[in-house]
């Protein structure tokens, strides 16, 4: 009988082991090839590159069930896959598309990248019906001319607002743009307010009249005019509104009118006084026409450049007190003159006349950014743009204006980042400077840090961003909505009672 040699038998036993080794090696090669393919094929892969890397970094697995929705839905609904927190500076223009702004009493939260998705009317904080007024009341005042029958400009190619001091009262421009873009999924913005076309769905009715621009550009008579263009536009707005069923159903109480310039809507305000106004202050309004119970105080649009991350700390601000602006004012502003003569010769105080001419705005911004405290003194009216210039310069505001009303004061505590001094105390020799010199570096730094945290609430921008001035105004209107509805319901009840008596 033939006998196999020991060597032959040994090689025969090793063949299965070599085959297994080859299979394992080949499998590992295929696995590595698949891994590379998944990383490089971000456009065609079932799992995007960013998600795949996040799975690797977080040691996360995602399992899909057949016929249970799209892959993107499965990724977003997976309980084990979470997006990383994205941290940004408060002044950055994030792409958030959250349906509500941040909680103001807490640290600002960034929700990550938004998506090209239209705001959901059902989840909007405020649903707004906006009249389609002719362009002569809004963008026509900017020189915009649309095509025949076109009322609104394209939200991607918007006409600019005039610069200089005109900008400080441009609030109606930003609010109107925000509403126009609210139904356009290509514009990434918060969903605090959304325009609705059906009045029955609306919480508020917005009147898109650029009243401040109308006053600034057309309040003077020209040539043989007997009535100014500004007066003519106001009269037209009044006639339009009081004839509308939308106005009649609530007596105008659910209408929102922006009249930020103290002299805007001067002839129309009494006839439209039942509406909610967006104002700079109540200085030139009787209490029965405008008051804090029904109206909104909105910040001026600041004129100086936002400091951002370049903010100088305590030791790098050599000026103790800064003021630059008109000194000789009437009414409550007479205090400016008194303070000027009291402080002008102090070595660490800058108190001088200034205007927007000859680089005045740039110089003012640099001066505020180099100062520890910036004076906000009452002028012809209780409020001033200077307060908001100081805030974005991270210069601690010193408010000397006894009748001032402040934006969003129901959610912001201004005592955390402002100093308040009564006018009667400020004009006493030594009182103001002794107070400010007594504030040490630690206390000042605490207020400075708070200023940096809240400054974004006073930024007007397009598109609007969560927690900026536009978003904050809509939130303030929403908080007033309950008061509006109370007044409407009460008026309906009283009207019904009067009819029954008759």
Q: Is the dihedral of CA 58, 64, 70, 73 positive or negative?
A: negative
Question: Which range scores top for mean pLDDT: 1-10, 337-346, 456-465, 484-493?
Answer: 456-465
- Cβ atoms of 317 and 396 closer than 8 Å: no
Nearest alpha-carbon partner for 110 in 468, 479, 466 = 466
Cα three-residue angle 262-258-415, rounded to 5 degrees? 70
Nearest alpha-carbon partner for 195 in 155, 156, 231 = 155
Mean residue pLDDT across the chain: 80
Pairing mode of beta strands 319-325, 296-297: unpaired
User: Residue range 201-217: average pLDDT?
Assistant: 97
Beta strands in 136-212 (DSSP E): 193-195, 204-207
* pLDDT band with cut points at 50, 70 and 90 for residue 431: very high
Please tell me the predicted confidence (pLDDT) of residue 279.
98
- Tens digit of pLDDT for each residue in 388-421? 999 999 999 999 999 999 999 999 999 999 999 9
pLDDT higher than threshold 60 for residue 206: yes
User: Residue range 66-75: average pLDDT?
Assistant: 31
* Both tokens assigned to 280: 């700079």
User: Residue range 214-239: average pLDDT?
Assistant: 95
274 burial (CB, 10 Å; 0-12 / 13-18 / 19+) is middle
pLDDT higher than threshold 60 for residue 425: yes
- Cβ atoms of 230 and 215 closer than 8 Å: yes
* Both tokens assigned to 310: 């370049």
Radius of gyration of the chain (CA): 31
Phi, then psi, of 115 in degrees rounded to 5 = -125, 160
* Both tokens assigned to 483: 């008061």
- 3-class SS at 195? strand
pLDDT higher than threshold 50 for residue 49: no
Nearest alpha-carbon partner for 189 in 122, 116, 97, 115 = 97
* pLDDT band with cut points at 50, 70 and 90 for residue 91: very low
pLDDT higher than threshold 70 for residue 95: no
Under CATH, which number does the domain 308-458 receive? Answer: 3.40.50.2000
pLDDT higher than threshold 90 for residue 477: yes
Please tell me the predicted confidence (pLDDT) of residue 83.
27
Domain boundaries, the chain: 33-84, 121-301+471-485, 308-458
* pLDDT band with cut points at 50, 70 and 90 for residue 29: low
Nearest alpha-carbon partner for 253 in 486, 498, 499 = 486
Q: Does 4 or 87 have the greater pLDDT score? A: 4
* pLDDT band with cut points at 50, 70 and 90 for residue 499: low
**Which residues on neighbouring strands pair with residue 374, listed in sequence order?**
322, 397
What CA–CA distances, in Å, run from 209 to 175, 177, 247, 399? 11, 12, 16, 31
Please tell me the predicted confidence (pLDDT) of residue 349.
96
pLDDT higher than threshold 80 for residue 344: yes
DSSP 258: E
Q: Percent of the chain beyond pLDDT 90?
A: 61
Please tell me the predicted confidence (pLDDT) of residue 1.
40
* pLDDT band with cut points at 50, 70 and 90 for residue 42: very low
User: Residue range 86-115: average pLDDT?
Assistant: 33
Please tell me the predicted confidence (pLDDT) of residue 32.
65
Please tell me the predicted confidence (pLDDT) of residue 156.
87
Taking the C-alpha atoms of residue 298 and residue 313, their distance in angstroms, rounded to an integer, is 29
Place of tokens 């997006």: 83
What CA–CA distances, in Å, run from 208 to 294, 344, 391, 454? 19, 44, 28, 28
Taking the C-alpha atoms of residue 21 and residue 501, their distance in angstroms, rounded to an integer, is 101
Please tell me the predicted confidence (pLDDT) of residue 76.
32
DSSP string, 390-425: HHHTTPEEEEE-TT---TTTTT--GGGT-EE--HHH
Please tell me the predicted confidence (pLDDT) of residue 334.
83
The residues, ordered by sequence, that sit 6+ positions from 88 with a Cβ below 8 Å of its Cβ are 94, 110
Please tell me the predicted confidence (pLDDT) of residue 121.
77
Taking the C-alpha atoms of residue 201 and residue 121, their distance in angstroms, rounded to an integer, is 9
What CA–CA distances, in Å, run from 151 to 1, 138, 145, 300, 362? 107, 9, 9, 27, 37
* pLDDT band with cut points at 50, 70 and 90 for residue 366: very high
In this structure, of 85-99, 155-169, 468-482, the range with the lowest mean pLDDT score is 85-99
pLDDT higher than threshold 50 for residue 114: no
């Amino acid at each position: 009988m033939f006998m196999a040699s020991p060597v032959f038998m040994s090689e025969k036993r090793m063949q299965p082991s070599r085959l297994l080794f080859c299979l394992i090696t080949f499998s590992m090669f295929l696995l590595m090839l698949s891994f590379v393919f998944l990383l490089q094929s971000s456009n065609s892969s079932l799992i995007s590159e960013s998600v795949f890397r996040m799975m690797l970094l977080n040691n996360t697995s995602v399992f899909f069930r057949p016929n249970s929705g799209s892959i993107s839905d499965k990724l977003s609904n997976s309980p084990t896959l979470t997006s990383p927190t994205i941290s940004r500076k408060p002044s950055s223009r994030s792409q958030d598309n959250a349906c509500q702004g941040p909680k103001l009493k807490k640290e600002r939260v960034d929700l990550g990248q938004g998506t090209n998705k239209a705001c959901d009317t059902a989840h909007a904080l405020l649903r707004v019906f906006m009249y389609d007024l002719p362009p002569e009341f809004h963008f026509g005042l900017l020189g915009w001319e649309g095509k025949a029958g076109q009322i609104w400009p394209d939200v991607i190619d918007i006409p600019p607002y005039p610069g200089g001091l005109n900008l400080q009262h441009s609030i109606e421009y930003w609010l109107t743009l925000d509403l126009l873009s609210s139904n356009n999924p290509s514009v990434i913005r918060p969903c605090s307010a959304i325009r609705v076309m059906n009045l029955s769905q609306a919480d508020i009715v917005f009147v898109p009249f650029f009243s401040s621009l109308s006053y600034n550009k057309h309040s003077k008579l020209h040539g043989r005019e007997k009535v100014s263009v500004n007066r003519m536009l106001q009269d037209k707005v009044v006639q339009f509104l009081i004839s509308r069923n939308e106005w009649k159903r609530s007596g105008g109480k659910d209408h929102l009118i922006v009249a930020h310039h103290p002299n805007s809507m001067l002839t129309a305000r009494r006839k439209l006084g039942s509406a909610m106004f967006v104002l700079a202050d109540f200085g030139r309004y009787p209490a029965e026409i405008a008051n804090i119970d029904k109206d909104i105080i909105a910040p001026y649009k600041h004129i100086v450049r936002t400091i951002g991350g370049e903010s100088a700390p305590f030791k790098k601000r050599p000026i103790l007190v800064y003021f630059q602006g008109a000194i000789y004012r009437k009414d409550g502003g007479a205090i400016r003159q008194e303070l000027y003569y009291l402080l002008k010769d102090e070595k660490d105080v800058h108190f001088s006349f200034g205007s927007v001419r000859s680089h005045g705005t740039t110089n003012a911004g640099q001066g505020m950014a180099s100062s520890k405290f910036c004076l906000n003194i009452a002028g012809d009216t209780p409020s001033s743009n200077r307060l908001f210039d100081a805030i974005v310069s991270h210069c601690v505001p010193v408010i000397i204006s006894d009748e001032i009303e402040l934006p969003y004061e129901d959610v912001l505590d201004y005592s955390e980042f402002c100093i308040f001094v009564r006018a009667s105390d400020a004009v006493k020799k030594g009182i103001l400077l002794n107070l400010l010199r007594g504030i040490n570096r630690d206390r000042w730094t605490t207020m400075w840090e708070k200023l940096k945290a809240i400054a974004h609430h006073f930024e007007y921008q397009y598109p609007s961003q969560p927690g900026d001035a536009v978003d904050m105004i809509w939130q303030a209107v929403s908080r007033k909505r309950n008061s509006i509805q109370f007044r409407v319901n009460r008026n309906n009840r009283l009207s019904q009672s009067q009819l029954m008596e008759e």
